[in-house]
């Protein structure tokens, strides 16, 4: 959510930003907010005047009563009573208009960074750099479900009977590999100075609306019936929510946290949820990283975060590339975003395995995450997040890039301690 004062003073900048995100239907909202804000401020000014007059009149009543001038005091009391009715009406209007303004402001997209390429959708994202040499072996690589099933590691049919499409049973060495990757990612981030955290897996609605847009919420979140609770779609939500309505000492920044959680997503409107696979699913596990920092430090941390994911995948010898997300592919709260994509030898192309985002002060403004500066002035923090690793999607890249012609899977050195010393997973 952008600053209302900024919108009031720079309506043309906000409108151009909306155009850059190809959301022209939202353009009238800028003028609507300005009109509502003008009315709100007029109501508030009149109300402040009446509140000030009421205080003066109350003192005057006391003086008149002390002087025995009861009739004059009654006249002043009538003025206070008449003003009270108008003041009650003004306070109702203040609240009503404030809520209208807030609702619209939460749908106006954040101002994107000037470096973001202008484009309509993800087809216009821009490749930044490749890491590692993509290899296509001289033998055929099966679909990932076939690889896992041949290793005795996947049961989709039973999961479909138990929970429906978009769920899975991981078994044996594949399940162990899944857990090993999460554990390795945890230790990888701890070694880079991040504090490990296991957060709540459910969050209240005020946190949900603080960390994401209404459109994202509708497409992603599962609501707990009868309670003000949602299952998290990613631990970033509850990790940022940890700081809701807090004032952080400036010298406590940056806050750098890495978290483990299961994730639950409706994937409403997503393509592929019905296909036989584990690429797009309703339930998965994830290691995440978040940073809460001073505004001037967020560009530095943005680069650190996506580099962490690149380094993690390269340590397992998986080729990756980074993509700069274009304006039309940025969610409304994001200032800048880079996707990390892993190489798929079977498809002979890259696919997304992580996304790094700088949200500026948008989340902090919604959640009231403020910093107490050394000069005593308070300001909103900047928040960032990035995927460390999210199996089982990441398993697809791992299995394809480490597969041998006989169907066995090599285990990289960094994962062998987590796999009980195993160097290879063999076909059952």
Bridge partners, 255 (sequence order): 292
Torsion angle in degrees (nearest 10) through CA of 9, 11, 13, 19: 170
The per-residue pLDDT for 67 is 67
Q: For residue 83, what pLDDT is reported? A: 74
pTM of the model: 0.89
Instruction: Tell me how far apart the alpha carbons of residues 319 and 306 are, in angstroms, rounded to a whole number.
Output: 15
Of residues 291, 281, 272, the one with CA closest to residue 390 = 281
Q: How far is residue 155 CA from its own chain's centroid? A: 31
Question: Domains in the chain, start-ordered, CATH in brackets?
Answer: 4-105 (1.10.287.40), 122-425 (3.30.930.10)
pLDDT, tens digit only, all 428 positions of the chain: 899 999 999 999 999 999 999 999 999 999 999 999 999 999 999 888 887 776 666 666 666 666 667 667 666 666 767 677 888 889 999 999 999 999 999 999 999 999 999 999 999 999 999 999 999 999 999 999 999 999 999 999 999 999 998 899 999 999 999 999 999 999 999 999 999 999 999 999 999 999 987 777 878 899 999 999 999 999 999 999 999 999 999 999 999 999 999 999 987 655 554 456 888 889 999 999 999 999 999 999 999 999 999 999 999 999 999 999 999 999 999 999 999 999 999 999 999 999 999 999 999 999 999 999 999 999 999 999 999 999 888 999 999 999 999 999 999 999 999 999 999 999 87
How confident is the model at residue 64, as a pLDDT?
Answer: 62
Q: What is the pLDDT at residue 279?
A: 83
Asked if residues 383 and 369 have their Cβ atoms less than 8 Å apart, the reply is yes
Residue entry with tokens 């600053």: 3
pLDDT at 84 (0 to 100): 79
| pLDDT given at position 272 | 52
Residue 172 dihedral angles phi and psi, to the nearest 5° = 55, -135
Write down the pLDDT at residue 48. 85
d(CA 404, CA 399) in angstroms, rounded, equals 10
Which pLDDT value is given to residue 268? Answer: 63
């Amino acid at each position: 959510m952008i600053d209302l004062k900024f919108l009031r003073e720079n309506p043309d900048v906000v409108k151009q930003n909306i155009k850059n995100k190809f959301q022209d239907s939202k353009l009238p909202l800028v003028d609507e907010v300005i009109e509502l804000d003008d009315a709100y401020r007029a109501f508030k000014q009149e109300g402040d005047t009446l509140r000030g007059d009421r205080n003066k009149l109350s003192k005057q009543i006391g003086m008149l009563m002390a002087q025995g001038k009861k009739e004059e005091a009654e006249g002043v009391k009538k003025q206070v009573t008449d003003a009270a009715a108008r003041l009650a009406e003004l306070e109702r209007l203040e609240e009503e208009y404030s809520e209208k303004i807030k609702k619209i402001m939460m749908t106006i997209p954040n101002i994107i960074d000037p470096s973001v390429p202008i484009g309509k959708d993800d087809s216009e994202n821009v490749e930044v750099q490749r890491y590692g040499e993509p290899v296509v072996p001289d033998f055929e690589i099966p679909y990932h479900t076939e690889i896992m099933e041949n290793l005795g590691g996947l049961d989709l049919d039973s999961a479909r009977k138990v929970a429906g499409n978009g769920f899975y049973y991981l078994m044996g060495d594949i399940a162990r590999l899944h857990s090993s990757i999460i554990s390795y990612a945890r230790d990888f981030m701890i070694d880079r100075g991040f504090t490990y955290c296991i957060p709540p897996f459910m969050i209240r609605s005020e946190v949900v609306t603080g960390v994401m847009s209404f459109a994202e919420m509708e497409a992603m979140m599962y609501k707990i019936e009868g309670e003000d609770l949602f299952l998290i779609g990613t631990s970033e939500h509850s990790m940022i929510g940890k700081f809701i309505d807090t004032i952080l000492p400036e010298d406590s920044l940056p806050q750098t946290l890495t978290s483990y959680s299961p994730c639950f997503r409706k994937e409403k409107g997503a393509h592929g949820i019905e296909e036989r696979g584990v690429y797009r699913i309703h339930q998965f596990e994830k290691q995440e990283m978040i940073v809460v920092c001073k505004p001037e430090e967020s560009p530095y941390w943005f680069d650190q975060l996506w580099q962490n994911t690149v380094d993690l995948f390269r340590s397992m010898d998986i080729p990756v590339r980074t993509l700069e997300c274009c304006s039309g592919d940025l969610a409304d709260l994001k200032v800048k975003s880079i996707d990390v994509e892993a190489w798929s030898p079977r498809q002979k192309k890259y696919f997304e395995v992580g996304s790094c985002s700088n949200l500026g002060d948008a989340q902090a403004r919604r959640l009231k995450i403020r910093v107490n500066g050394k000069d005593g002035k308070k300001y909103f923090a900047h928040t960032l997040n990035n995927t460390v690793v999210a199996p089982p999607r990441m398993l697809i890249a791992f299995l394809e890039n480490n597969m041998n012609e006989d169907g066995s899977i090599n285990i990289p050195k960094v994962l062998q301690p987590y796999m009980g010393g195993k160097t290879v997973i063999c076909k059952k």
